[in-house]
Each structure stands twice: as C-alpha cells, then as structure tokens.
C-alpha cells in the first residue's frame, strides 16, 4: 500500500474516465444521427462504466488514505494536498500529471454530458399522427434512462479528491 498503489489506482480511474468520455461521445453521435433506438444500449454502457468508477473511487480512497498515512498527512487529503507533502523525487510530478489529466478529462466529460443532455431533452422528431402509445412511451423510457445515466457523470467524490469543489 502507499504511493505506488495510489498511482496505479489513478491510472485505472483515468482509463475509466476516458472510456466514459468515449461513451458520451458515442451516445451523442447516435442522438445526432437520429438513432434513438440505440439509447437502451448506450445508457446501459454508461451505467456500467459509472459503476466501475464507483468501485475505483473506493479503491482510490483506500490508497490515498494509505499514502497519506505513509507521508504523515491527514486522512482524506486531496490530491493537491498529497502533492504538496510528497517526498522529494518523482511523486509530486507524477501526482500532478494525474491531476492535470483528470481535470482535462472531467472538463471534456462535462462538455459531452451537457451536449448529451441538450440532445436528450430535445428528443426525437416523430410524426405524431403515426405514433401509438407504445411507440411514444418506450423511447421516453429510454430517454429518461439515458438522462439519468448522463446526470450520474458528476463524479462528486473525484472532484473533491482533485480539489475542484
């Protein structure tokens, strides 16, 4: 346990954030192409990666606490706080690299989420005369599921750890 494991956990979390961004961008492409029937798939994939990120968040918390204890820092230290007290050598630089990459990913995720929400709220264009109850309700359920998944990308605990809140 310690800094090595914290860095490895941050790498895993960065990969999941990058995959989350990919999924948001993919969903947006489907929305813009009018492939609303794909929402059940894209929403399910978003839910899966968000679940993995919740697990990574727990792992990060454990590893950050371990590194903090090793470096005689308060428990629940933010990443910037850990950078400040990191022992001389590569740790401060490596942690800063993680911090900058994660801030960039979160910024891109926020933009993609905002675009997804706008597209989802506009909804598909349908001919109301051809619509029956099921053809209206099923897409609406998929839209709501996708909205809920996209809104789950706020990642509050990660933002706290990065010192962004």
Q: What is the pLDDT of residue 24?
A: 98
131 pLDDT higher than 80: no
pLDDT tens for residues 84-99? Answer: 999 988 999 999 999 9
Interatomic CA distance for residues 56 and 13, integer angstroms: 6
39 pLDDT higher than 80: yes
10 pLDDT higher than 90: yes
Q: pTM, whole model, 2 decimals?
A: 0.90
State the pLDDT confidence band at 136, using cuts at 50, 70 and 90.
very low
Average pLDDT of the residues in 143-156: 94
**Can you spell out the DSSP letters for the chain?**
--HHHHHHHHHHHHHHHHHHHHHHHHHHHHHHHT-GGGHHHHHHHHHHHHHHHHHHHHHHHHHHHHHHHHTT--TT--HHHHHHHPPTTTHHHHHHHHHHHHHHHHHHHHHHHHHHHHHHHH-----GGG--HHHHHHHHHHHHHHHHHHHGGG-HHHHHHTT--
Least-confidence region, from 45-54, 59-68, 135-144, 145-154: 135-144
Q: Are 165 and 135 in contact (CB under 8 A)?
A: no
31 pLDDT higher than 70: yes
Q: What is the pLDDT of residue 141?
A: 87
137 pLDDT higher than 80: no
The rounded mean pLDDT for the chain is 91
Average pLDDT of the residues in 121-142: 65
Give which of 159, 163, 141, 145 is closest to 53, Cα–Cα: 159
């Amino acid at each position: 346990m310690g800094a090595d494991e914290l860095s490895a956990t941050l790498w895993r979390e960065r990969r999941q954030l990058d995959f989350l961004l990919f999924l948001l961008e993919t969903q947006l492409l489907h929305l813009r192409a009018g492939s609303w029937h794909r929402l059940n798939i894209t929403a399910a994939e978003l839910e899966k990666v968000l679940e993995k990120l919740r697990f990574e968040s727990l792992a990060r918390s454990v590893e950050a606490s371990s590194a903090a204890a090793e470096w005689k820092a308060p428990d629940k230290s933010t990443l910037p706080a850990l950078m400040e007290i990191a022992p001389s050598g590569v740790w401060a630089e490596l942690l800063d690299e993680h911090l900058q990459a994660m801030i960039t990913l979160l910024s891109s995720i926020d933009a993609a989420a905002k675009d997804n929400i706008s597209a989802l709220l506009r909804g598909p264009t349908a001919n109301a005369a051809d619509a029956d109850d099921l053809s209206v309700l099923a897409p609406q359920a998929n839209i709501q599921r996708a909205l809920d998944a996209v809104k789950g990308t706020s990642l509050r605990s990660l933002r706290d750890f990065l010192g962004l809140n």
